[in-house]
Amino acid sequence: MDAASTILAVASPAGPSPRGLVRASGSGACTHVAAALEGPGAQAVAAGVRGVHVARLAGPSIPVLVACMPAPRSATGEDCVEVHATGNPALLERIVDMVIACADGGARRAHPGEFSVRAVLHGRMTAAQADGVAHAIAAETDAALAAARATAGLDASGMQRAWSGEIADVLALVEAGIDFTDQEGVVAIARHDLERRLDAVGSAIEAALRAAEGTERAVHAPRVVLCGPPNAGKSSLFNALLGRTRSVEHEGRGTTRDAIEAALGLGDGTEAVLVDIPGLEEAVERIDLLMQRRAADAIARADVVIACDDGNGPVAAIPGAAVVIRARTKCDVARPDPCDVELGGKAPRDGIATSARTGRGLDSLRGAIRNACARSRSHATGAAALGSARAMLLSEAAAAIRAGRDEHVPELAAAWMRTALDRLGEVSGAIPPDDVLGRIFARFCIGK
């Protein structure tokens, strides 16, 4: 990754807004941004004067506010400039283009996560904190965002420094014993003391990983998809579960033409992403084909699928879903209960009886969704469940400690302890290897 150029990106959310933000970072950020401005504020930015300056864009003469943050006291550790303007997406992109044009090759658009990469490289952020930013970006619900913030506790508490200090103490004693092997009767650390101290550190790290597992897994909220044939009551059930009208309801077929998402509270502070999709049927027109592709994509990404059945058509086959809940919709409509009759010689239909109109069965369905979400992810444990670079590093450190504890050759035990120190150092602030940086920043978006 080129670290010499000044990088720019629109750092505010996509779409129009009252205020938008363009961010620049690099040794030439102040001069390059100032070249696209005019007025006294432009001169202050060019001189790298810390603070907020009033200026105008050169050419369109649009007023902007420019925050100038010279190195090293900036978010990235480099000269950092933020241009605040009206949140028109076209205007913000024009600002980026203007600065790049004025820089004459000295500035370019940022890659995903590059601002945070530079913050890590300049010691303004640890790899663990950058990993927390990635989780916050990926959060889909309020609960997921809270979980992303909670995972920062693995780094902020200073536990890594205590663990590293204890391992370094034990390593020093082991290496002292190696240095004095020619001295008869000299034992720097007894075997039982070494095992006891390494056991304590390894157990502490593993306990921290287990405690963080639930919050890390919550960063990516489970996706619950309502599917079934057209006009099976999916949208009505979708709105009823949310407690508000989010999806259009109509008795006609094909009312839902896209995947519609909303956060669904499941109690106990947990949330899922509830998804309403087009009805599953044979595609005839091109629009039908596009609708079925959206539906298939939503089902493929689902953790839980709610198969909606109003008793008027065949039971939908759900391809590849991890956990399936069957819900009998429209149970307030007077007709023979599908559970009480044979349909076409097949086994009786079953599932949770629900009514979006009367509220029947909604609490039972929410409980089933909560349990199904837990089951869909119960196979993911340890570092695999955590899925973050920080957790992988801690897991590798714990494994190295266990290997060192079981190793009876002092030189090999010392090598395992150095490995554990390296992994803990990467978590607490040392610059990690390129492959670890890649795993962290691959999930970032532009401007972060």
Distance CA 56, CA 160 (A): 48
CATH architecture of 6-110: 2-Layer Sandwich (3.30)
Residue type at position 198:
L
- Residues 158-172 have pLDDT tens digits of 677 788 888 988 888
HEC assignment per residue over 121-160: HCCCCCHHHHHHHHHHHHCCCHHHHHHHHHCCHHHHCCHH
CATH superfamily of 140-218+383-431: tRNA modification GTPase MnmE domain 2 (1.20.120.430)
How high is the pLDDT of residue 66? Answer: 95
Distance CA 238, CA 224 (A): 10
- Residues 389-437 have pLDDT tens digits of 677 778 889 999 999 999 988 889 989 998 998 888 777 655 344 544 4
CATH architecture of 223-376: 3-Layer(aba) Sandwich (3.40)
The parts of the chain modelled with pLDDT lower than 70 are 1-2, 127-128, 131-132, 135, 138-158, 179-188, 211-220, 248-257, 268-269, 281-288, 312-322, 334-350, 375-389, 428-448
How high is the pLDDT of residue 25? Answer: 96
How high is the pLDDT of residue 301? Answer: 78
Per domain, the residue ranges of the chain are 6-110, 140-218+383-431, 223-376
Distance CA 269, CA 143 (A): 7
Distance CA 201, CA 209 (A): 13
**Global pTM exceeds 0.75:** no
140-218+383-431 and 223-376 agree in CATH topology: no
Distance CA 118, CA 137 (A): 18
How high is the pLDDT of residue 308? Answer: 87
- Residue 238, burial from CB neighbour count under 10 angstroms (0-12, 13-18, 19+): buried
CB neighbours (10 Å) of residue 198? 24
Q: Is 163 helix (H, G, I), strand (E, B) or coil?
A: helix
Q: What sign has the CA pseudo-torsion 223, 224, 228, 231?
A: negative
Distance CA 12, CA 289 (A): 35
Closest residue by Cα to residue 204 from 25, 380, 5, 424: 424
How high is the pLDDT of residue 50? Answer: 95
Q: What's the token pair of residue 312?
A: 């008027």
